[in-house]
Amino acid sequence: MKKLIKKLAIVLYIIFARWLPRSSSRCKVGLLTWRFYGRLILKKAGKKINIERGACFGTGVTLGDYSGIGVNCEVFGDVSIGNDVMMGPEVVFYTTNHKFDRTDIPMRLQGTTESKGIVIGNDVWIGRRAIILPGVTIGDGVVIGAGAVVAKDIPSYSVVVGNPARVIKNRNEQQIKQDNIWQPFD
C-alpha cells in the first residue's frame, strides 16, 4: 500500500504540483502542496522543507530541516541534503555517469557507472546552475558559486567557484579576521 501511495504521489506531483507558482509568489498553495508531496515521495523529509516549482526529485533523496530544492533543479539517486540548505535554480546532482572506457563499443551501449551517493552538509548555499558530480561530499557552511562544477569533496566553510570548482577562501578565516578587527595592527 505504501508503494502504491508513493507512486500515485509521484504521478500527481509530475502532472499537477510541479507547476504551481514559486514559493516567493503571493499564492502560498504551492508551498504547502510541495511539502505534502515531498513528504510522500522523498526518502526522508525534515521540518518546513521547500520544494520549488519545476523541481525534479527522486525517492532516494533525503532533505533536512528548513532546506529546499530550487526552481527546476534535478535531484535523483542517493542524495543526502542536510539542514538549512539553500539551493538556487537549475542545480543538478549526478550520482551516475556514462561509461566510456572501451573504444570498440559505442558509448551509448556501454551503460552507466555504479551509483555514488552525494552528501551535502548543513548550512550550505548552492548557487544557480551548479553541478554536483557523483560521490562528492560537501562540508558544513559551504558556499558554492553559480555555475560551479563540483567534482571533488569540499571542506567545511569553504567558498568554491569555477569549472572545475576550486576553493577561493575559507569562511572561518574571514570570521577570525572580523573577530580580531579591534587589533590595531595585523
Catalytic, out of 28, 44, 48, 98: 98
CA distance 122 to 111: 34
The answer to whether 79 is a known catalytic residue is no
Q: Give catalytic residues, as residue numbers.
A: 98
